[in-house]
Amino acid sequence: MARDRRRLAQALGLSEREARLEAQVLLSRALQSPRAFVLAHEGDALPPEREARYRALMQRRLQGEPMAYILGEREFYGLVFKTTPAALIPRPETELLVELALARIPADSPRTILDLGTGSGAVAVAIARHRPLARITAVDRCPQALALARENAIRLGAANVELLESDWYGALGVRKFDIIVANPPYVAEADRHLEQGDLRFEPRRALAAGKDGLDAIRAVVDGAPAHLSPGGRLLFEHGHDQADACRDLLRRAGFVEIASHPDLAGIPRVTGGRAG
């Protein structure tokens, strides 16, 4: 395994600790045994079929495929979600969007929530599990992503999530909601990061949004007033350098009480406001 750790570190630019952990996790998956078992038997020879399975998993990782896709799961907001290339991998920074939404949803009274571009369903399901009286409508234009979100909602017991195929607000008619949340695409189409790391394997439609990365955010903001109840709120994630532009879009759309909220690194990550 030491050789595999070195190969991972060199191929993916990982630290020694990160490479060791990934190799152990891949071996644990190949053996279908807890990581503690792997640590206790690290020097043991592997049965041929398990060796082949481990080598196949390791090769996928050496080619840069994200661990979340190789393992088929990722933890988000204390819940383990199934992950596939049909949707973005849930990320820790998006937990801020859930936290801000939960702070605005009373636990003891019903509210209606709309999650735009739900992908794996991570945001919608996390909110649903923590606010069982709320009714969450989660939409996505991709049938494969919706199927994944539906599976996650069922697996995680989020019976208060409704899933609809919709291009943003297109299939919602005149429906209104107390809160709209979104983690839309916000990377510029020519951004070099799209060809690096995990992003190479994730669906481009869920990442890139026009020349400045703001096309999807414009659609979310412009359509929100017609689908918010009086005093309703919009919250959405955006890129590290887009907070000023997002606040300006909200002002132009008539929102008030506009604010940007930093993630744990102090980077403005979520912006929102109240319908005026």
- Average pLDDT, 10 consecutive residues per value, the chain (276 residues): 86 91 91 75 76 93 94 97 96 96 96 98 98 98 97 98 97 97 94 86 91 96 97 97 97 98 94 95
Shared-domain flag, residues 138 and 234? yes
pTM for the complete prediction?
A: 0.92
124 and 255 co-located in one domain: yes
Q: Are residues 92 and 25 in the same domain?
A: no
Per-residue pLDDT, 227: 98
Q: How far apart are CA 166 and CA 139, in angstroms?
A: 6
Indicate if 199 and 104 belong to the same structural domain.
Answer: yes
φ/ψ of 49, rounded to 5, equals -70, -35
Domain-located, residue 69: no
Rounded CA separation 149/79 (Å): 13
Give the up-direction half-sphere exposure of residue 49: CA atoms within 13 A in the CB hemisphere. Answer: 2
The verdict on 98 and 59 lying in the same domain is no
**Same domain? 55 vs 111:** no
Report how far residue 11's alpha carbon sits from residue 53's, in angstroms, rounded to the nearest whole number: 20
Beta-carbon contacts of 119 under 8 Å, excluding residues fewer than 6 positions away, are: 87, 88, 140, 145, 148, 149, 183, 206
On whether both 128 and 43 belong to a single domain, the answer is no
Q: Is residue 173 part of a domain?
A: yes
Report yes or no on 9 lying in a domain. yes
134 and 34 belong to one structural domain? no
For residues 205 and 240, membership in a common domain is answered with yes
Residue 125 placed within a domain:
yes
Length reported for the chain: 276
75 domain residue, yes or no: no
- Same domain flag for 56 and 128: no
φ, ψ dihedrals at 189, nearest 5°: -60, -30
Q: Could you list the residue range(s) of the whole structural domain that residue 44 is in?
A: 2-64
Domain count, the chain: 2
Residue 170 belongs to a domain: yes
pLDDT of residue 193: 84
pLDDT recorded at residue 116: 98
Distance CA 250, CA 234 (A): 9
Q: Are residues 210 and 95 in the same domain?
A: yes
Q: Say whether both 100 and 185 belong to one domain.
A: yes
Q: Distance between CA 254 and CA 109 in Å, rounded?
A: 27
CATH code of the domain in which 154 resides: 3.40.50.150
Residue 211 lies in a domain: yes
**Is 215 part of any domain?**
yes
What pLDDT sits at residue 41? 66
